[in-house]
Chain A
């Protein structure tokens, strides 16, 4: 099973089936469906349910230079059509990732995009350099938008000058395509998209979680030990679609659209809004096969719309 991608795509094309392949900042994806960082572990957690060969790519859980143990529990709280999380970027660190996690993913014919984060500009840059020549890595997603760690993440991604400095530093240390994962917790996301472009990023990931909070009314305590957390799930999808649409209109970088995608129809909203690819996130928690369900549904929608490929529908919001 492994290492083999059946050549059904060609046969299907011959039969008039739509072309699902996508070129994303030079990365050739067999289809536009990726997994959102932090919701699919390092692939292994879901390999029992999903043939990873069928995915366009896997964006792995965020990796830092040193292992991180994360935030104290409780870390999650269910909300209407969504959830809050404050995991705190728990991860085994770059060394363990390269030694134990990446070799597993390398067995599959799918693109691996590594999500990186740090506490200083230099940490981000050092990670980029470490991963630059590693076999089996197609690109980097630079997390400048996690709302759950104090120094890392969102602090960078909500200040244009720091965002520029950080992304420029990462750019200078790697030849890999880099995607800036932008924070939705800003007034104008397009300003940060421009900063990312100016710093030499090859693409954008939109969006990370929205900063949120829930309180236990009986005790007055926050539901999360971290007090605040990132809101994900279909509750945030309209915000994400709007931000992808706004950004795609004015910044010529390919966008990985994400935020509450549960179904193929949800995914197609992002494509029509202008995303080149999509990432399925929180949906994996509810349905381990969500990525594959989205994928087969996208094909159906393209057929329904009479589209030869995704590019026929990409960025075609009809505002007339």
Chain B
């Protein structure tokens, strides 16, 4: 029988981890048993009707066999209210939902590209890459230093084997350029023999450029889309994104991870 995906998830820990981010660990054994990197949950931030909808949040790791970790940034009233929820209380949670990142094939070099607050699914993905024992590049783009992932997350990425390179628009950290520029440089340096495979999550504009870089170099590229959602299970059609072959794809069920070529990046 399929594992239950509707949970009253008890908050095990909930803490501020810097740069506007919170780390929320929820007890949801069925979710922890089945979640794959790139999948997400729909989390209700309160039991009241305003804010109304559940929030889609990418799973950032599975700290234990029975818990799910979410790292989120306060972006509005919903996430602001969420910060006030204390350990011991429970939140209505649906998940894991959607299609995750496919594991890299043997011999391939996973290249992770994170923009803005898009790193949590990549963090979960990176935790699985650790098993291969090989280091892998993680390229992070942000507007400025304050927009980078919080320090505990960066340390955790390093522990998993990530070699981190940073690009900021204002040059306050790392190289002053777009993350796609350091991606291009990296790919030029490592060459096709390394069989790079791109895994990206971040703002749509960044994903569009990453997709173009991948297409120009004929590299496989998987992007995780962030869209507003209502149901998370494919019913409301609210999170549709343009398909590369016409029509739309639902981010919640056909994504959130897509092969970049599946989508239309023109608009």
Q: Which residues of A contact B (CB under 8 A)?
A: 38-41, 45-46, 48-49, 61, 69-70, 72-83, 85, 87, 90, 233-234, 262, 282, 284-289
Contact = CB atoms under 8 A, between A and B. Distances in A.
Contacts of A38: 236
Interface in B216-253: 227-242, 246-248
Nearest to A74: B228
Contacts of B51: 78
A285 B230 contact: yes
B248 A83 contact: no
B173 interface: no
A47 to B, nearest CB: 10
Contacts of B6: 49, 288-289
A151 B150 CA distance: 50
20 contacts: A38-B236, A39-B235, A45-B235, A46-B233, A46-B235, A49-B5, A69-B246, A72-B267, A73-B239, A73-B248, A75-B238, A77-B228, A81-B49, A83-B53, A90-B237, A234-B49, A262-B49, A282-B230, A286-B52, A286-B53
Nearest to A287: B92
Contacts of B239: 73, 75-76
Given A233-B52, A286-B44, A286-B52, A75 B235 contact: no
A45 B5 CA distance: 13
B5 A48 contact: yes
Contacts of A76: 228-230, 236, 238-239
Nearest to A68: B247
Contacts, number: 94
A72 B242 contact: yes
B234 A41 contact: yes
A287 B52 CA distance: 11
A69 B231 contact: no
Interface of B: 2, 5-6, 44, 49-54, 92, 94, 227-242, 246-248, 267
Q: Which of B5, B228, B232 has the most CB of A within 10 A?
A: B228
A41 B52 contact: no
Given A49-B6, A78-B52, A87 B235 contact: no
Nearest to B232: A285
A45 B228 contact: no
A233 B238 CA distance: 15
A41 B235 contact: yes
Nearest to B5: A48
B41 to A, nearest CB: 13
Q: Indicate the member of A79, A81, A82, A285 with the most B CB atoms within 10 Å.
A: A285
A192 to B, nearest CB: 27
The 4 A-B residue pairs with the shortest CB-CB distance in the complex, in nearest-first order: A76-B238, A41-B235, A285-B231, A45-B235
Given A48-B2, A90-B240, A285 B248 contact: no
A64 to B, nearest CB: 14
A39 B233 contact: no
Contacts of B227: 73
B237 A87 contact: yes
A116 to B, nearest CB: 17
A81 B238 contact: no
Contacts of A77: 228
Given A46-B235, A48-B2, A285-B230, A70 B52 contact: no
Nearest to B231: A285
A226 to B, nearest CB: 12
A41 B2 CA distance: 20
A69 B50 CA distance: 31
A38 B51 CA distance: 21
Contacts of B53: 78, 83, 285-286
A78 B52 CA distance: 7
A105 B62 CA distance: 36
B236 A285 contact: yes
A82 to B, nearest CB: 6
Given A48-B2, A49-B6, A87-B237, 18 more contacts: A39-B235, A41-B233, A41-B234, A69-B246, A73-B227, A73-B242, A75-B239, A75-B240, A76-B239, A78-B52, A82-B52, A85-B236, A85-B238, A234-B49, A262-B49, A282-B230, A285-B235, A288-B94
Nearest to A225: B267
Contacts of A41: 233-235
